[in-house]
Structure 1
Amino acid sequence: MRAALALEDGTVYFGTGFGTAGESWGEVVFNTGMTGYQEVLTDPSYCGQIVVMTYPLIGNYGINDADFEARRSFVRGFVVREACSAPSNWRAKWDLATYLREQGVIGLAGIDTRALTRRLREHGTMRGVLSTVDLDAASLVEKARRSPPLTGQALVDAVATREPYVVPGNGYRVVLFDFGAKENIIRCLNRRGCTVVVVPPRTTAAQALSYEPDGIMLSNGPGDPVDVFYAAETVRELIGRVPVFGICLGHQILGLAFGGRTYKLKFGHRGVNHPVKDVVTGRVYITSHNHGFAVDAASLPQEVYVSHVNLNDGTVEGMRHRHLPVFSVQYHPEASPGTNDAEYLFDEFMAMMQRERR
């Protein structure tokens, strides 16, 4: 099955299609992880995006039934140099092509992903069209140019829960705002004994407080944070009422709630080995990332300080309120995929809830 990927700048890559047949459009981004493709495929933050894996061989350990981060895959397409058709791992239940076919995801293999990644780094992320049914270069480029940008799409509504549900524990009660939450956020809280009340993204502050939470968690999710303006208004009402911990999109929403601004990065951070420095302790952590937007440090009020910075480009990776129990990080302390260097932040959240309960 022949397939092609066209970018809005007129570049077209021809290769072999796998997974499902058809046509899809989205923002084309790259991920530098050597492993963790299953978690990438099921990370709701990739909704609206065609993901390019920079590591040349993907699928060699298959897909298992234990490492999903969501109920299904939300990616718009999956691009690799070589897709392994004969995985070898005792946990593997499906090969990559079978899983993509079951999920309705178009795959593209056999292209120079190094060249594609370099183009995205030099020119920034672009809209693209991935197709197995239209192989006409001019037609595909025109479709890419006509496709809508990532901003303005209701991506959070597409991935988040529609109804509240409870994951029971025997400790503190945490209300998790689901903007596209990865399952490992819930697992990390559960391991610490927390009862997790997962609520839809448009839950009001009054509704959240009605659960009598010890803490509020703001999850990761897809898209532009300004498209989730309603959440920033809700979080603004919650600040100072109960401890708040934000991750990724939740971090950006918190920045907006503080009165700050966000902006789009040229090509984003997507990988599992980004160095982040804690500016208070000076310690450096290797962290997992998946985001295309960042908080503007200069826009934050004086009562909020930048707690972590990215050592690759100096962008904001964390912030804390100077007086209130509120903090957030841009990266993923729950990892999956990635290192667990930063999972200690969940322990800090637990300690914060303990102090506030006294």
Structure 2
Amino acid sequence: MKKAIIALEDGTCFEGRAFAGSGEFYGELVFNTSMTGYQEILTDPSYHGQIVTMTYPLIGNYGINEEDVESRGIFAQGLIVSECSRIHSNWRASKSLAKYLEENGKIGIDDVDTRAITLHIRDKGAMKCVVSTENVDHDSLVQKAKDSVGLIGRDLASEVSIDSAYVWPEGGKPDAAFKVAVIDCGIKLNQLRILEQLGCECTVYPNTTKAEDILAANPDGIFVSNGPGDPAGAPETTELVGKLIESKVPMFGICFGHQMLGRALGADTFKLKFGHRGGNQPIQDLRTTKVEIASHNHGFCIDADTVNPEVAEITHLNLNDNTVAGLKHKLQPLFCVQYHPEAAPGPHDPFYLFEEFIELMKENK
């Protein structure tokens, strides 16, 4: 195993070893507090442009299987763990975590103090970094981290969106109760699986598709997916969502989709200090006061002070910091949440959100 250096733009460096991959990798260094789910995290397009540190100490013990991937490949730039399990044991596993990272050209680092990394990010904030097995000079790597692109202002959603539309499930769903148009900003497959389970046939569109082309298919509902990056860096997607809102077709947005709907309704977004990434976030539904356990993966959120109270109401709050976790239009069948109900950490706490979307489509038919 090669020595690996993790260099941050503020001059801090950590040393570990590469248990998978080699070379230099750039991204924003973030942490995730989930105990399991590393395969879903790696294949979540929302992690495009990021290097993920897992706070749970032992990762990789159940290997990798073919069924639980959330997209067409690994989107995280790299994975940092305290200890990568030397063996994997699970009846569904087809390969090790190290082999999976190697096959996808990504880097995995362990034998590093992930507690120190996490505390540093919580104190100083998520920041640009470079991970290298080729260069051990701290000063030059720190400079490379400073000079790297970063996430602010970048339209990362368009980088991960598909090139052409497709139908889910493959071949269509002849008995579908609803036809749903899905705007792919970096979608996770479990969102499509749940919609299919609830009787929907989905047509998934690139986020560059024209609104009139989507509406020409006469969908019963429109779903705006999760995705990576700065929502302010995706004005074309915001414009598309704004035109779709004008159609008054029922709409539901998750994470980046929530931010797109919020911005299209006139709200602003801002970057969180270190973001929310994990499977144990407490969310309160203000309509019922019920608290649910939710999965999060975002570094930006809606500014509550910029939500127009005549247009939308805040329906959900993150109880860790009282940031906006849900919005609902006051006059149209439209709502969105900042978190990931499809990730099911509860495991069933937020499933009702998909059912609310189904009810809106029923009422609108």
TM norm. shorter chain > 0.5: yes
CA distance in 2, matches of 1:63, 1:159: 22
Structure 2 counterpart of 1:132: 133
The two structures, once aligned, show a CA RMSD in angstroms of: 1.0
Whether 1:225 aligns to 2:226 is: no
1:329 pairs, out of 337, 350, 365, with: 337
Q: 1:209 to 1:162 in 2, by over 3 A?
A: same
Moved over 6 A (4+): none
1:318 pairs, out of 326, 338, 346, with: 326
1:268 pairs, out of 262, 275, 285, with: 275
CA distance in 1, matches of 2:142, 2:246: 50
Residue 338 of structure 1, CA deviation? 6.5
Residue 340 of structure 1, CA deviation? 3.1
Maintained 8 Å contact 2:31/2:52: yes
Amino-acid identity (%): 51
The amino acid across from 2:315 in the alignment is S
Structure 2 counterpart of 1:105: 106
Residue 343 of structure 1, CA deviation? 1.2
List aligned pairs for 1:238-317, cutoff 5 A. Answer: 238-241=244-247, 242-302=249-309, 303-317=311-325
List aligned pairs for 1:1-358, cutoff 5 A. Answer: 1-167=2-168, 168-169=172-173, 170-241=176-247, 242-302=249-309, 303-335=311-343, 339-357=347-365
Maintained 8 Å contact 2:45/2:186: yes
Maintained 8 Å contact 1:171/1:194: yes
Maintained 8 Å contact 2:7/2:141: yes
Structure 1 residue runs without a partner (length 5+) = none
The size of the alignment, in residue pairs, is 357
CA distance in 2, matches of 1:203, 1:2: 45
Task: Give the TM-score, by structure 1 length.
Answer: 0.98
Structure 2 residue runs without a partner (length 5+) = none
Residue 40 of structure 1, CA deviation? 0.2
Maintained 8 Å contact 1:218/1:250: yes
Residue 238 of structure 1, CA deviation? 1.6
CA distance in 1, matches of 2:321, 2:66: 36
Task: Give the TM-score, by structure 2 length.
Answer: 0.96
CA distance in 2, matches of 1:28, 1:90: 33
Residue 297 of structure 1, CA deviation? 1.1
Maintained 8 Å contact 1:8/1:145: yes
CA distance in 2, matches of 1:227, 1:191: 33
Maintained 8 Å contact 1:272/1:339: no
The amino acid across from 2:341 in the alignment is P
1:204-233 CA distances to partner (integer Å, 9 max, x unpaired)? Answer: 210110111000000000000011111111
The amino acid across from 2:207 in the alignment is P
User: Match of 1:211, SS?
Assistant: coil
